[in-house]
Each structure stands twice: as C-alpha cells, then as structure tokens.
C-alpha cells in the first residue's frame, strides 16, 4: 500500500511520520510529475487552505487530484484538507475541490487563542486525542455523509465513501488509530 501526501505547505511531515509508524509506504506530491507515481490513497494535511489551493492551481495539480477523488481514490483531509474537500464554506466562496457534501465554517473557533485540545469519541475507534489549531468545523452534512465525531455539539470528523475528514490534527498526537482507520479504508477498496 502506498500513500501520497500533498506536500505543498503545512504539516505534511507529521503525517508521513504516522504512516511510517504504521508501516505504510509514502511519498510527497509537490508537482505534477509526482502524480505519475502509483498510489492508493492521498492525504491532504493541515496548513493554510488558501495557500494550498493557490499552489494546487499554480502547479496544475488541481484538476487531476479532483478527478482522482471523484473516481474513488481514498482521501484523508485534516483541518485545511477538510476545508479543501468541503462543498460549501459558510459565508465564503469555495476555492477547494468541493467533493464532499458538507458545509464548513473556517476559523470556527476564532484566532489562535481559541485553539484547544480535547479527547472525545470517534465512531468505531473510541476516545481519541484531538488537537484543534485555528480549526474549522462542519455545520451541515448532506447525502451519504456519516458523522464520526462531535466535540461540543460541533461535527469534527466525517466520512463520505472514499473521503475522510477531521477538523482536528491526529498527526500532532501519538495516537495512530485515525490514520489506521484511513489505511483500512484503502485496503477495503483494493
């Protein structure tokens, strides 16, 4: 199994460390030619979603990756990754892939002073540590979206078929179970 990690900006190395520990092969996508390699899933990390969207377009990666996701490529988006996969962003224009039936609020907890850590239930996994950094949350979910976790009544993890999103950063903790959940999604598809 090989996982591609979008490495345009943000905390992609942290995701690679998790994959390393789980024994999954991985490599970085920084430009178009990287997409020629074979891979079974893709991770869109945390960082600044506006930066990633801009670079996806400038480096001509946007349409190809969007096509892959639409064709069923398993994808895991954390924080900025969640924003890029959202069909709608509350009170703003959508600038990401928009492949997942969710409405998201960006910077939903305010500025850095609103960043926090908590532990709460993740469906099918149990209690997981969750680090929220200037995080978004999901306001509404549409067809075929399963809610996987809520924190203070806000949706913070969800899945729609091949797409998994978390508003928090499992890659900033030592808990490998959310990544392991994603790798399971990949193996079940194969």
Partner 1 sequence: MEENRYELNKNLAQMLKGGVIMDVTTPEQARIAQEAGACAVMALERIPADIRAAGGVSRMSDPKMIKGIQEAVSIPVMAKCRIGHFVEAQILEAIEIDYIDESEVLSPADDVYHIDKTKFKVPFVCGAKDLGEALRRISEGASMIRTKGEPGTGDVIQAVRHMRAMNSEIRRIQSLTEDELYEAAKKLQVSYDLVKYVHENGKLPVVNFAAGGVATPADAALMMQLGAEGVFVGSGIFKSGNPKKRAASIVQAVTNYTDAKLIAELSEDLGEAMVGINESEIALLMAERGK
Which residue number, 54 or 177, has a Cβ lying nearer to partner 1? 54
Annotate each residue in 103-142 with x if it binds partner 1 (CB under 8 A) or - if it does not, as one string.
---xx--xxxx-xxx-------------x-xx--------
Helix (H, G, I), strand (E, B) or coil at 123: coil
Identify the active-site residue in 14, 79, 88, 179: 79
In terms of Cβ atoms closer than 10 Å to its own Cβ (0-12, 13-18, 19+), residue 177 is middle
> CA distances (Å), 115 to each of 85, 88, 110, 162, in order?
22, 23, 8, 28
Report if residue 174 touches partner 1, rule: CB under 8 A.
no
List, in order, residues 6 or more apart from 36 with CB less than 8 Å away: none
Residue 36 makes contact with partner 1 by CB under 8 A: no
Does 179 interact with partner 1 (rule: CB under 8 A)? Answer: no
79 is catalytic: yes
Tokens matching residue 161? 């078929």
Residues of the shown chain interacting with partner 1 in the complex, contacts defined by CB under 8 A: 7-14, 30-31, 46-48, 50-51, 54-55, 58-59, 79-80, 92, 106-107, 110-113, 115-117, 131, 133-134, 169, 172
């Amino acid at each position: 199994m090989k996982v591609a990690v979008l490495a345009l900006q943000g905390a992609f190395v942290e995701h690679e460390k998790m994959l390393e520990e789980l024994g999954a092969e991985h490599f970085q996508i920084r430009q178009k030619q990287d997409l020629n390699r074979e891979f079974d899933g893709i991770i869109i990390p945390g960082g600044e979603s506006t930066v990633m969207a801009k670079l996806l377009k400038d480096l001509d990666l946007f349409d190809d990756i969007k096509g892959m996701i639409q064709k069923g490529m398993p994808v895991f988006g954390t924080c900025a990754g969640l924003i890029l996969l959202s069909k709608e962003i509350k009170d703003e224009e959508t600038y990401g892939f928009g492949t997942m039936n969710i409405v998201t609020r960006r910077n939903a907890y305010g500025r850095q002073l609103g960043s926090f850590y908590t532990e709460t239930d993740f469906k099918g996994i149990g209690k997981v540590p969750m680090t929220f950094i200037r995080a978004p949350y999901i306001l509404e979910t549409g067809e075929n979206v399963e809610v996987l976790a809520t924190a203070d009544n806000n949706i913070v993890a969800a899945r729609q078929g091949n797409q998994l999103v978390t508003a928090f950063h499992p890659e900033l903790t030592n808990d490998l179970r959310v990544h392991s959940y994603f790798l399971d999604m990949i193996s079940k598809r194969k």
